[in-house]
């Protein structure tokens, strides 16, 4: 007697795009948005100053330290951390609402933030973005020319340490220079494959 196969609808995924500074996380997420991928892209709250060409509410929510402190006290953040002297955090309500609507949720986090999300939501999908080697990473950070000498040294030292945390992730992608679309295609392929798993990830927050 044969069993009838019933097609199940996969659960929405909580996807973390992470990796050291300078590997291209922002560019990857921006290209995914530009191409109209059907995900909810989480906007991170931060206390750092807005950079040229950044848009409040789109690139980040730029908030005061007093407002960020209130968000911590009211348990409004999934995770938060001090990153290079400024706070960053993920608003809980934004993620819960998106998951409840059935949408996959994509968030861009540093390595420390990704590991915090893993503890809170073990079924989250963690993708580590890197470049070809440490020398290439240092070159990219220097070429950005957005840091003071001291800040740049801190970012380089932190990035080198973060490269050793790759074992905490599910997938790794090398984001080669001038191959952004190829990297974005690999991210999308991973997400598509995850929706085809027999045993779906089920995220609860």
Which of 108, 140, 155, 201 is labelled catalytic? 155
Q: Give the CA distances from residue 167 to residues 19, 42, 88, 127, in Å, rounded to whole numbers and listed in that order.
A: 12, 24, 23, 11
Q: Which of 35, 70, 142, 144 is catalytic?
A: 144
Q: How far apart, in whole angstroms, are the C-alpha atoms of residue 88 and residue 79? A: 8
CA 105 – CA 97 distance, rounded (Å): 10
Is 26 in contact with 146 (CB distance < 8 Å)? no
Residue 31 a catalytic site member: no
Asked about 155 being catalytic, the answer comes back as yes
Is 51 annotated as catalytic? yes
Active-site position among 35, 51, 70, 160: 51
3-class DSSP state of 12? coil
Phi-psi map region of 22: left, alpha, beta (phi>0 left; psi -120 to 50 alpha):
left
- Quick one: tokens of 162? 């973060």
Residues involved in catalysis: 51, 144, 155
């Amino acid at each position: 007697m044969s069993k009838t196969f019933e097609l199940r609808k996969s659960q929405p995924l909580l996807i973390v795009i992470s990796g050291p500074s300078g590997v291209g996380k922002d560019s990857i997420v921006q290209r995914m948005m530009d191409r109209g991928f059907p995900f909810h892209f989480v906007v991170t709250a931060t206390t750092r100053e807005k950079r040229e060409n950044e848009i409040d509410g789109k690139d980040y929510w730029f908030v005061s330290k007093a407002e960020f402190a209130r968000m911590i006290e009211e348990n409004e953040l999934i995770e938060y951390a001090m990153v290079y002297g400024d706070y960053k955090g993920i608003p809980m309500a934004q993620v819960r609402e998106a998951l409840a609507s059935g949408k996959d949720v994509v968030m861009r986090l540093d390595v420390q933030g990704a590991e915090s999300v893993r503890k809170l939501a073990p079924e989250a999908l963690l993708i580590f973005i890197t470049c070809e080697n440490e020398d290439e990473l240092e070159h990219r950070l220097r070429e950005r020319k957005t840091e003071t000498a001291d800040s740049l040294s801190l970012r380089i030292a932190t990035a080198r340490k973060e490269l050793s945390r790759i074992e905490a992730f599910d997938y790794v992608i090398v984001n080669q220079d001038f191959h952004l679309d190829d990297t974005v295609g690999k991210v999308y392929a991973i997400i598509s494959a995850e929706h085809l798993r027999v045993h779906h990830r089920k995220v609860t927050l």
